[in-house]
Structure 1
C-alpha cells in the first residue's frame, strides 16, 4: 500500500474534508479561522499536515489568497460529495431514531409540476405520514447541479432535452400539451376562430430566458410571424401567471393541466402549438441511487400521474425509466 493509499484509507477524516471545503469557499486563512472558531496558525498547521500526509500540494499561496491546485480541485470535489453523503446518513439516522421514516428533498420546476407534485405528496402522506419532504422551486439550470451534487433526491417537472453532459435516470410521467391561455374576460376569448395575427396587439407572460420553454416558444411564434414585443412579464410562477391573466389582457403559454383549474378558470385560445416540450417526469442521479423514502415518492408520482384526468389535456405515461445524459 502506497503512502497516498494508506493516508486516504486510514487517516483521512471528516474534519479534513470540512477543512478543504471551507478553505475552498473562503480562500483566506483568516476567514477560515473565523468561521471554524480556531486560530490562523491552527488552520495553517492542519492544512500542512494534510498536504504532508498525502504528499501533495493542495493549494497555491498567491496574492489573491489560497487557490486550489489540480490535486486540490480533485480532492475538494470528492470531499463535497462525501460530506453530502454523511449529512444524508445523519438525517436518515435521526429520522429512524425519532420514529419518522425519512426525508425526501425534491426540486420542482413550478410551471410543469404544480398539479402533479401536490397530488403525489398527498399520496405519500397517506401511505407514510412519517416521511417528510423538502420542496425547492427553481429552474432546470439551478436544480440539476443540486441533484448532481446530492443536495436533492429528485427533480420533478418538465423533462429537459437530452443534449448535455452527465447521466441522470429519468421516468416519464405525464404528457401535458402546451397551449395559449387568457383570462375569461379577454377580448380574444369571445371569438370562436382566430388568426395568429390577432395576437399581435397583446402583451405576454413568458418563461424567463434559460428556461426549457423559452427558446422553442420564441421559434414557434416567429414561424407564425408573431414576434415577441417589449411588453411582457417573465415568470415561472404559475400563481403569478394565473392571477395576472384574471385581471388583464395578457396572453400566457401554459401546460393545459395546471391551466384547467375550476377555482380560477382560464380560456384556451383555439390556436395549435407544436409539441414544444418533453413530458413531465422525475429525475434522479443514478450514481447515487434512491433512498427508500425517495423510492416511495417516485411510486406516488407514478400513481398521481395515472390519476390525472385525461379530460384536462394530460395523458398518463407508463414508460420504463431510462438513462438520460444531462449535466
Structure 2
C-alpha cells in the first residue's frame, strides 16, 4: 500500500472532511476558525497536515482567499457525499435507538405525484408506523442532483427522459397518467359542440415552468397546430393553483392524471387529442448507493399504491392506468 493509499484509507477522518467543506464554504481562515471555535493557527495547521499527508495542494492562497485546486475540488465533492452518508447513518441509528425503524428522504415532483405519493405514504404508515419520511417538493432539475449526492433516497413523479439521467439512476415505472387540455365548466370552449385547435388561440394559458418535463413537448405540440402561446399566462407546477384558477377564469391548462369530474373542483376536458407527451409516473433512486430497507419498503408501497389506483381499489382519478408491469428498468 502506497503512502497516499494508506493516508486515505487509514488516517483520513471525519474531522478532515468537515474541515474541507467548511473551508470551501467560507474561503477564509478567520471565518473558518470562528465557526469551528478554534484558532486560526489551528485551522492552518490542520489543513497543512492534511495536504502533507496526501502529498497534494488542496487550496491556493490568493487575494480572494483560499481557492480549491483541482485536487481540492475533487476531494471536497467526495467529502460532501461522505458527510451526507454519515449524517444519514446518524439519523438511522438515532431512529433505531428511539424505537423507530428508519427514515426515508423523498423528492416529489408535485404535478405528477400528488395522488400516488399520499396513497403510498398511507400504506407505509399502516405497515411500519415507525418508519418516518421527509418529503421535499421540487423540479427534476433541483431534485436529481440531491438524489445523486445522497441527500434524497427516492424521487417520485413523472420519469424524466433517459437522456436527462445519464444512466446514473435506477427507475421503476408505476402509472400511466394521460395528459389533457382542461378548462373550467363555465369556459366558452366547454360549450362548443365541435372544437378545432385554432379555437384555442385567443385564450390565456396555465403553463408548467420552463425547464419542467412537460413544457418543451407542450410547446412543440402547440406549434405543430399553429397555436402560439399568448403573453397572457401563469406558470406553476401546483395542481391546486391550476384547479382554482380554472374555476374563476377562461384559462386553459395542460394537466396529467387529473380527475375532471372531481366534485369539489370539476373540470372540463377539451376534446382535442394529444400525443403521448410524457413518460409514466415512477420512482428513481441512485444506482450506486442502492436502497436502505426503509427505502425498499417505500418502493413496495409505491407499487401497491399504483396497482390500487389503476384498479380503482382506492379513490382513483378516472383515466389513470398502470405502467406496463411496473418493471424496474435501467436507463440506457
* Fold conserved between structures, TM > 0.5: yes
3-state SS of the aligned residue for 2:162? coil
State the distance in 2 between where 1:60 and 1:179 align.
Answer: 55
State the distance in 2 between where 1:170 and 1:72 align.
Answer: 33
Q: In the alignment, what sits opposite 2:314?
A: none
Q: In the alignment, what sits opposite 1:38?
A: 38
Q: In the alignment, what sits opposite 1:216?
A: 217
Q: Aligned-residue CA RMSD in angstroms? A: 1.3
How many residue pairs match? The answer is: 325
State the distance in 2 between where 1:111 and 1:198 align.
Answer: 26
State the distance in 2 between where 1:213 and 1:146 align.
Answer: 21
Q: In the alignment, what sits opposite 1:102?
A: 102
- Tell me by how many angstroms 1:191 deviates: 2.2
Q: Does residue 324 of the first structure (1) align with residue 325 of the second (2)?
A: no
State the distance in 2 between where 1:31 and 1:239 align.
Answer: 44
- Tell me by how many angstroms 1:11 deviates: 1.2
- Tell me by how many angstroms 1:258 deviates: 5.6
- Tell me by how many angstroms 1:150 deviates: 0.3
Q: In the alignment, what sits opposite 1:144?
A: 144
Q: Does residue 304 of the first structure (1) align with residue 314 of the second (2)?
A: no
Query: 134-143 or 313-322, which moves further after superposition?
Result: 313-322
Distance verdict in 2 for CA 1:258–1:167, change over 3 Å: farther
State the distance in 1 between where 2:259 and 2:44 align.
Answer: 55
Q: In the alignment, what sits opposite 1:274?
A: 275
Structure 1, unmatched stretches of 5+, are none
State the distance in 1 between where 2:93 and 2:189 align.
Answer: 57
Query: 154-163 or 71-80, which moves further after superposition?
Result: 71-80
3-state SS of the aligned residue for 1:312? coil
Q: Does residue 179 of the first structure (1) align with residue 174 of the second (2)?
A: no
Q: In the alignment, what sits opposite 1:24?
A: 24
Kept after mapping to 1: 8 A contact 2:213/2:278: yes
Q: Deviations over 1:128-152 (max 9, x none)?
A: 1111110000000000000000000
Q: In the alignment, what sits opposite 1:52?
A: 52
List aligned pairs for 1:1-327, cutoff 5 A: 1-164=1-164, 165-257=166-258, 261-309=262-310, 312-317=318-323, 318-324=325-331
State the distance in 2 between where 1:262 and 1:305 align.
Answer: 22
- Tell me by how many angstroms 1:257 deviates: 3.2
Q: Deviations over 1:175-194 (max 9, x none)?
A: 01110011121111122321
Structure 2, unmatched stretches of 5+, are 312-316
TM-score by length of 1: 0.96
Kept after mapping to 1: 8 A contact 2:175/2:310: no
3-state SS of the aligned residue for 1:125? helix
Kept after mapping to 1: 8 A contact 2:112/2:257: no
Query: 14-23 or 163-172, which moves further after superposition?
Result: 163-172
